[in-house]
Structure 1
Amino acid sequence: MTDNDKAAAILEIHALKARYFRTMDMKDWAGLQATFAPDLIADFRAASGEWNEAMLIHGAAAYVAQLAPMLQQVCTVHHGHMPEIRIETETEASGIWAMEDKLWVEEGAPLPFRWMHGYGHYHERYVRLADGWRIKEIRLTRLRVDAG
């Protein structure tokens, strides 16, 4: 790959992650699922501040099917910052994104808190499919979680 090809791939991955955040916050579940490779590995076991083995999910459809009812009654705001993207081959890349999220939970939602403000990093692997870059692996680590 040329340097220009790598720069173009990095911009495409930036746009992919922007779609991830937007579709998550807008509860566009089909759009969110489209940001992932079908064989996604989603590791959110440490995402809430407490280890939850049930949050290691294989498959994009399975991940979104588990996530959607959990967040349906939650206002979320996700921000990604300072991406470190490494293009490894023409079809593979990796990245780390600093992140911050805020959640406001409506009455009756299945979450054990009313609000949350989290800080951490997304660790990701990307794959270029026939229709563009997709998130192949996603893991969230936390630096801090404030909740009440």
Structure 2
Amino acid sequence: MTEAEKIAATLEIHALKARYFRTMDMKDWAGLEATFAPDLIADFRESTGEPDESQLTHGAAPYVAKLAPILEHIQTVHHGHMPEITIESPDRATGIWAMEDKLWVQEGSPLPFKWMHGYGHYHERYVRIGGEWRIQEIRLSRIRVDVG
């Protein structure tokens, strides 16, 4: 790949991640699912403070189907910062994003807290399918979580 092609791919991945955050916060579940490869591996086992094997999901549709009801009664704001993107080939890339999320829990949510402010990193693998970049693997590692 030329440097120009790598730069273009990097910018496309930036836009993909922006769509991921926006569609999640807007509860646009079809839009969120479209940011993932169908064979997504979503690994959030270490994201809640206690290891939780139930937070490993295979497949974009099952992941979104699991996530949507959890977030139904939660207002969220997600931000991604300082991406480290490595273009491995014309159709493969990896990335690490510093992240911050805020959750405000509303009546009817199963979560045991009223608000959360988290910090950490997304570790991702990307694949280009039909000319468009998709998230193929996503893992969240947390540095800190404040709850109240």
Which band: TM-score by shorter chain?
A: over 0.9
* Sequence identity (%): 74
Q: What is residue 3 of structure 2 aligned with on the other side?
A: 3
**1:88 is paired with a residue of what secondary structure?**
strand
Q: What is residue 63 of structure 1 aligned with on the other side?
A: 63
Deviates more, 1:30-39 or 1:110-119: 110-119
CA distance in 1, matches of 2:38, 2:131: 13
Gaps of 5+ in 1: none
CA distance in 2, matches of 1:51, 1:132: 33
Q: Give per-residue Cα distances to partners, 1:63-83, cap 9 Å, x unaligned.
A: 000000000110000000000
Q: Superposition pairs for residues 1-148 of structure 1, below 5 Å?
A: 1-148=1-148
For this pair of structures, how many residues does the alignment match?
Answer: 148
**1:66 is paired with a residue of what secondary structure?**
helix
Q: Give per-residue Cα distances to partners, 1:49-91, cap 9 Å, x unaligned.
A: 2211100000000000000000011000000000000000010
CA root-mean-square deviation? 0.6
Write the letter of the residue equivalent to 1:118. G
Runs of 4+ displaced beyond 4 Å: none
CA distance in 1, matches of 2:127, 2:112: 34
CA distance in 2, matches of 1:116, 1:45: 17
CA distance in 1, matches of 2:134, 2:110: 29
State the Cα distance separating 1:110 from its structure 2 match. 1.5
Provide the TM-score with structure 2 as the length reference. 0.98
**2:89 is paired with a residue of what secondary structure?**
coil
Write the letter of the residue equivalent to 1:116. M
Q: Give per-residue Cα distances to partners, 1:90-137, cap 9 Å, x unaligned.
A: 100000000000000001202121110000000000000004000000
CA distance in 2, matches of 1:41, 1:109: 25
